Amino acid sequence: MMETKVKIIERVKQGEKIVDIAHSYNMNHSTTGMILQNKDKIMKDVKSVVLMMSTIILKKHGKGMEEMEKLLSVWMQDEHQHQVPLSLMLIQEKTKSFYEDLKKKHGEESEGSAFKASHGWYHQFKDRANLHNVKVRGDTRESP
């Protein structure tokens, strides 16, 4: 539900009519209005969750993970702007490459299991990085 609220807020910011947005989500106009009325609180809650998730990831994989996600986000946006087709497999390979390079840079040793750039990680990363507009072949959750 939180994801839907954020999408509604983003669509209003992009200039879509509230009536059209409410209709697309099969909601009452008043429900959409309440979401917009509470948008500051909703966005604050979203930022808190993103910060918490980033902290969990940082603790689990070290400081290289946060830097790797930033690099990957920039790379994906650049590829998207240049209309380079992306596949989930290509993104996973690029992710592992960035991660390994950054581990070496930061002098981090491999502890326990290696980072796998799994489908679950990818979908959470895509949400955290707000990359909903980037189309990826093999992504089962592509936005319409």
> Any idea what DSSP says for residue 83?
T
- What's the pTM value of the predicted model, to 2 decimals? 0.52
Q: State the pLDDT at residue 54.
A: 60
- Compute the distance between CA of residue 5 and CA of residue 3 in angstroms, rounded to an integer: 5
Q: State the pLDDT at residue 58.
A: 53
Tokens of 89: 């497999």
Q: State the pLDDT at residue 37.
A: 92
List strand residue ranges (DSSP E) for the chain, in order. Answer: 86-87, 136-137
> Any idea what DSSP says for residue 3?
H
- Compute the distance between CA of residue 6 and CA of residue 52 in angstroms, rounded to an integer: 18
What are the structural domain ranges in the chain? 62-144
Give the pLDDT means over successive 10-residue stretches in the chain (144 positions): 84 90 90 89 76 59 75 88 89 89 72 71 83 76 48
Q: State the pLDDT at residue 61.
A: 56
Tell me how far apart the terminal alpha carbons of the chain are, to the nearest angstrom: 17
Best CA proximity match to 122, nearest among 76, 63, 82: 76
Q: State the pLDDT at residue 103.
A: 78
Q: State the pLDDT at residue 139.
A: 73
